[in-house]
Structure formats: structure tokens, C-alpha cells
Structure 1
Amino acid sequence: TYMTISTLHQVFNQEDDGQILECVVTHSTFAVPDITTFTITVLSPVAPTPTKVSPKQITAYPGDLQEIECSVMAARPAVKITWTLNGINITSDADAKNTRNNLD
């Protein structure tokens, strides 16, 4: 007895929406191929909601650790958030973490 697994890695585009994808299995003992059919649904891009930053204003003493959150919802594909200070990218220096929550 064998288990055969075929994994398809495919990038779908908007024009693929509604198209039919088939997994066709053939074997010498089959009178006809075993076909499993899938309908492809490609989600349309969704513009992000306005960016929310918390807190709105920062007042700190030298050496204070501050936590600032920048969040954007309802974006597809997901947005990329970077942090800059006076035009210089500080994303890695600021211990920033990007978290993606799939809300669909």
C-alpha cells in the first residue's frame, strides 16, 4: 500500500476567480480517472482603514521606554509597517514587531 501526495504551489490572480481547478487521479485499475473539482475564489484587494496610532502624543524623559502602537485593519494584502525617526528607519532598533491577524 502506498500513499501518494501531490502538493500544488500556485499563485492565483484576479482573472483566476471562478475558474475550476481539478485534481485528477489515474490508475491502471480505474475505469475512469478520479476527479476532485474546486472552484477558485480570489478575494479582491481591500484598501486599509485609516492608520491608528496610540498614544497620539509622546512626552518622555531621557531614557524612558515608550510603547507606541500603529495599527491598520481590513487590508488585503496585509500592509507593511515600518518606523522612522527624522526620516531614518528605526524599525529594527525599536524592537518593533509586526503581527498579522487573519480576521476573515
Structure 2
Amino acid sequence: MSASVYPLPMNRELARQVARAARETGLSRAELMRQALSFGLPQVVQALRKSSGRLTSVDPLPRRAAAALYRLDDDDQPQVRRLTTNQSFEIAD
């Protein structure tokens, strides 16, 4: 197995946490970080994965069904007007 070395800058608090975890586990800092990457990488990938571009998990209507629905005259202005007539509207000062 070939190895690659990656310098890993850490802030002071993270370096303390790594040192503490290394003492508690008996692992070297390098081995602890390798294990942390190995265990945590799938969760990081899942959390930060780029979206597929879809905004919903609902499949789109088939073309024929969509065409049939959009062909209908669907003027809902009278119903909207009727429902909003009795609502009170306040105008801010």
C-alpha cells in the first residue's frame, strides 16, 4: 500500500481534541485521524453531496396527463375573490 502525506492545518481547539482522543484511544494522532476519516467520510459525503437538481421527490406528470389537465379552463378568480372578500386587511402606518 502506498501512502500519501497531506499536511493538515488545524486550529488550536481541534488539535487539542485530536490529542485528547489519541490519549484516550491509545492511537497515534496520525492513526486516529486516518480512522476518523475512514469512519466519518461516508457521513460527510452524504451531508455535503451536491443536489441532483430536483427540487422535489415527486415524479412529474406524464406528458399526456399534463396536457389534458392544462387544456382545461381553470379560471379560479371568482373563488379567490369570494374567499378574500371577508378577510380583514390592515395597512401599516
TM-score normalized by the length of structure 2:
0.18
TM-score normalized by the length of structure 1:
0.17
Rg larger for: 2
Q: Which has the higher helix share?
A: 2
Q: Which has the higher strand share?
A: 1
Higher RCO (C-alpha under 8 Å, 6+ residues apart): 1
